[in-house]
Structure 1
Amino acid sequence: MKPIFQGSDPYKRWYDLVPATLKSHAPEWGKIPRSDFDSDELVNLSRDARVFVDSFYGTINTPDLALLYPILNQVEVNVKQAGEGQVQLRLATHTPGFDHFSWRFDSLSWQSGLDTALCWTLHEGINRFEVQSVNKAGKQGRITNLEILFYGAEITEIKLDNGHADPPGTPFLWEDFTHPTLVRLREKYSLDDIIKSGETDLERAILLRDWVKSLWDHDQPIFSPPWNAEYILDKVTKHIEYFYCVHYSVVYMQLCMALGIPARLINLHRGICDAPLDGRGYGKETKEEAPCDEHVLNEVWLDDISKWAVIDVDFDIHYEQDGQPLNAYEIHELLITDRLADLQPCEGPLAYKLRSSDDFYQLKLPVYYTHFCIFWRNNHISDSEGPTQILHFVDDKTPPMLWWQGEDLRHRPQIIGPIGISWPYSQQTPVLNDMNAASHWASAETPDPHWVELVWESPKKISHVHLLWAKCWGKYFNSRHILIQSKHNEEWQTIAEHHADNERAMDLISFSPIETDSIRIVQPINGGSLEYPQRLWLAEVGVN
């Protein structure tokens, strides 16, 4: 049996088959391949099936604010009495790009090292200890202060302004602060000089924002650029090409990282598309005044006040309430509780350029915070291809959404754009039978069995399942253990089992013919690729 992925012409130009609305917004997609599933001899039954999956890697809907807003760059100190007149200090931190601890006793000289356990001999009276983390770019975190009162050979009181060291449950993928591109950016554009007059972390973030905004005016680029600040700044400073919100945000994020300041991308949506217009999901967001158009900005971590804050470079603005800068969640909360009057827009010198009305920043722009999503990685320089997890906040008034109809969100420069991004959440996805080898699905990366289920309106005679595995970073990520199951008396029964330890682009799994209206492709726990044993990662599924 010849796999139905193969034929005399294994790839066709997908661009010839997509709607005109997509072509007009993504001319650079001209050569994304389309799988030649059907041959003269074979009919791919998966094309008529509805496809359901157990989970999504790319889209994570969550109400967990502790996950979305982790505390960074602090040191947690655990104090334990170690003997007469001695204590042991245990240090822990969640510092992206951690390099070392810096500490001192009783206001003496600062010391540095990687030790997570320190022994401290106390003296009569007040004993003081200060400690902070330092990242690889040299940025110091908030100081944790400890005072121990020691009188008459006894500890009489411990005063600890402690830090937090809990990493988020879903690991964030950070760019290396010492990446050569970031080092060059810091030196070439004298970034330290740009922010040196700022007295607070917020002031320094604003100085950098205003400088980036001053470099070019919002415009539509000819082609979507790579998410690389060095490339974008080269084009705008040479007056070759100009860009819009996501590119301002990418530049700002990477310049912050060059300075050692944690920063990330935030995507905003006014709403969610109701349904595909053309059966594939394209076009809704390209309509004028669509309910789900979007905007991209940044959140930066401010060490001195220990919080995340929105920085909007494109509009040259941030928001405050009662003198405190706000993050995306806080603006979202004011919006859904009808308290936008409490919002204080803080405009930069160039905010007037995109202000369309007197109340634009007070009442209109905040509506985009109806939905906010956080890109759960900022390492786009190191990894310009890998998938991205999008964390979307949900609450009683904010329903879940599904990004790109369930794709794994392997990075493409145009992944942010007015093309079918946000849809109502469903366990159903067209990604695995859309005949497009460039679109991939991945399961959540959890220690569970993961599965894909195909359902037909009427029973089909089936004896073969064809799996085209995901390809990323020049490698295929095929599962090492796969079960094919069909339903019998409302219970799933295994009809075929497949093992493969070597890298494979595709697999053909054959079994005795059955007649059924549904099948499942199941990856048992730890049955994924060697690199990602908990992830089921596929490009297409074929059945005949």
Structure 2
Amino acid sequence: MKTPFKPSALLALVVSLSLSGSLAAQSQTLEVKTIQFAKTPQVKPTFVRSAPQDAYLTQLRTRYELEKLVAGKKTDFERVKAVCNWVRKQWDHNGSNTPLKNDPISILEEAATGKKFRCVEYGMVLNGALNSLGIPARSLALKMENADTVEFGAGHVVAEAYLRDQKKWVMVDGQFDIIPTLNGTPINAVELQQALAKKTPGVGVVSFSGTTASDYFPWVAPYLFYFDTRLDNRFTEDRVPGSLMLVPQGAKNLTVFQRIRPLTDMTYTHSISDFYPKVK
């Protein structure tokens, strides 16, 4: 992953900037391609995830006292913000270091020894922590339009969480402690792409770590083209391979990442409803 900008080390705060504010000054350089998706189902995928009471998620939740972290939070959005901020504090970003094992507890154990990890690991830990608290979540890989020909830095990984009280998926970037919003309402990765492409007034961010919209949006925008996530999101050894990729209408199916990495076991769809199912 490409080494990103460094957010300023300010005191913790919440930042919400609109395109009519400081980001408007960058509108000449923030040119985001308009892409379109289908609305009707195409492949009707089946997503699977671990239940909060499963052994692994129970261990994660109790060992790191995650229930205390969200105690008193009245909405799913408030709970997601608290978890995002907690994950961001567990280690500093290192775009070239990988953990020995790719599961939340193992990553956190290594981080406690001083190791630093990539965006991939922020997404994975967010995914596990949120699911352990009963908030459906998943890791989400973002890829550039030319991710098959770029040699390095063609992708970024975040998480997405389903807010039952708002009945919607929202993007959560643990590396930058960022949740994008539109007029104060949290939005998912595709909604962010479309808002930036249309220069929609009122698009901004929530962050407790000083990261601003004017820094973040120009950096993340190129990654908002292909979107993929695992179909089997369980934290078990018998997890089945397979992912779903959301492909813009008219774009080719992405089969190779960064020239040499085949994208195997991938199901492709142009459908928003396939990619963002309602969760009970």
Normalising by the smaller structure, the TM-score range is 0.7 to 0.9
Secondary structure at the counterpart of residue 243 of structure 1: coil
- Determine the structure 2 residue equivalent to 1:395: 249
8 Å Cα contact 1:218-1:244 kept in structure 2: yes
1:505 alignment partner in structure 2: none
Question: What is the SS of the residue equivalent to 1:170?
Answer: coil
Corresponding residue SS for 2:224: helix
User: Does structure 1 residue 265 correspond to structure 2 residue 139?
Assistant: yes
1:382 aligns with 2:236: yes
The question of whether the paired residues in 2 share the 8 Å contact of 1:375 and 1:390 is answered with: yes
Is this contact kept in 2: 1:63–1:394, CA < 8 A? Answer: yes
Matches for 1:46-195 after TM superposition, within 5 Å:
63-65=37-39, 169-195=44-70
In structure 1, distance between residues paired with 2:74 and 2:40:
28
When you count helix as a share of all residues, which structure comes out higher? 2
Deviation at 1:422, TM superposition (A): 8.1
When residues 190 and 224 of structure 1 are mapped into structure 2, their CA distance, relative to the original with a 3 A threshold, is closer
Indicate how the Cα distance of structure 1 residues 204 and 442 shifts in structure 2: closer, same or farther if over 3 A, else same.
Answer: closer
Deviation digits for residues 232-254 of structure 1 (CA, Å, limit 9, x no counterpart): 11111132x22111101101101
* Paired letter, 2:245: L
Q: Which residue of 2 aligns with 1:298?
A: 159
Rounded Cα–Cα distance in structure 2 between residues aligned with 1:385 and 1:187: 23
Partners of 1:270 and 1:317 lie apart in 2 by 20
Q: 1:500-541 deviations in whole A, cap 9, x for unaligned?
A: xxxxxxxxxxxxxxxxxxxxxxxxxxxxxxxxxxxxxxxxxx
What is the CA-CA distance between 1:404 and the residue it aligns to? 3.4
Q: Counterpart of 1:388 in structure 2: which amino acid?
A: G
Distance 1:325 1:422, change over 3 A: farther
Percentage of matched positions with identical amino acids: 23
1:364 maps to 2:219: yes
Q: Matches of 2:102 and 2:201 in 1, distance apart?
A: 36
Asked whether the equivalents of residues 264 and 377 of structure 1 are also in contact (C-alpha less than 8 Å), the reply is: no
- 2:98–2:118 contact (8 Å) kept in structure 1: no
Rate the CA distance shift 1:310–1:67 in 2: closer, same or farther, 3 A.
farther
1:344 to 184, 200, 204: 204
User: Counterpart amino acid of 2:165?
Assistant: D
Q: For the Cα contact (< 8 Å) 2:148–2:254, is it kept in 1?
A: no
The answer on whether the counterparts of 1:392 and 1:400 sit within 8 Å (CA) in structure 2 is no
The TM-score with structure 1 as length reference comes to: 0.39
* Residue aligning to 1:415: none
Q: Using a 3 Å threshold, how does the CA distance of structure 1 residues 196 and 400 change in structure 2: closer, same or farther?
A: farther
Q: Which amino acid aligns with 1:402?
A: L
The 3 A distance-change label for structure 1 pair 335 and 181 is: same
Q: 1:319 to 1:442 in 2, by over 3 A?
A: closer
Is residue 76–residue 164 contact of structure 2 (8 Å, CA) maintained in 1?
A: yes
User: Considering only aligned residues, what root-mean-square deviation do their CA atoms show, in Å?
Assistant: 2.9
Write out per-residue CA displacement over residues 199-239 of structure 1, whole angstroms, 9 at most, x where no aligned residue: 21101100011011111110146544322111011111132
1:315 equivalent in alignment to 2:190: no
The separation in 2 between residues aligned to 1:326 and 1:194, in whole angstroms, is 23
Give distance in 2, aligned partners of 1:422 and 1:331. 27
1:285 and 2:146 matched: no
Structure number with higher strand proportion: 1
Q: Check the 8 A contact 1:401/1:422 in 2, yes or no.
A: no
Q: Deviations over 1:299-328 (max 9, x none)?
A: 101011111111111111111112211111
Contact 1:273 1:422 in 2 (8 A): no
Larger Rg belongs to: 1
Distance 1:222 1:298, change over 3 A: closer
Secondary structure at the aligned position of 1:394 is classed as: coil
- In structure 2, relative to structure 1, the CA distance for the partners of 1:360 and 1:191 (3 Å cut) is same
Show CA shifts across 1:330-389 (max 9, x none): 11212333x1654212222x244xx7xx8222433233213322332312x213663222
Offset at residue 181 of structure 1 (A): 1.6
What secondary structure sits across from 1:242 in the alignment?
Answer: coil
Confirm whether residue 213 of structure 1 aligns to residue 79 of structure 2: no
Q: Using CA pairs below 8 Å that are at least 6 residues apart, which structure has the higher relative contact order?
A: 2
Alpha carbons of structure 1 residues 317 and 66: separation in structure 2 relative to 1, 3 Å: farther
Work out the CA distance in 1 between the residues paired with 2:126 and 2:58: 15
Give unpaired runs (5+ residues) of structure 1: 1-61, 69-167, 276-283, 406-417, 424-440, 445-544
TM-score w.r.t. length of structure 2: 0.72
> 1:79 — aligned with what?
none
Distance 1:294 1:443 in 2: 16
Q: Equivalents in 1 of 2:262, 2:155: separation in Å? A: 10
Q: 1:182 to 1:274 in 2, by over 3 A?
A: closer
Question: Hey, what does 1:130 align to over in structure 2?
Answer: none
SS at match of 1:330: helix
Q: May I ask how many residue pairs the two structures share in their alignment?
A: 232
The one-letter code matched in structure 2 to 1:394 is P
In 1: Cα distance, 2:259 partner to 2:238 partner? 20
**Distance verdict in 2 for CA 1:313–1:340, change over 3 Å:** farther
Asked whether the 8 Å contact 1:341–1:362 carries over to 2, the reply is no
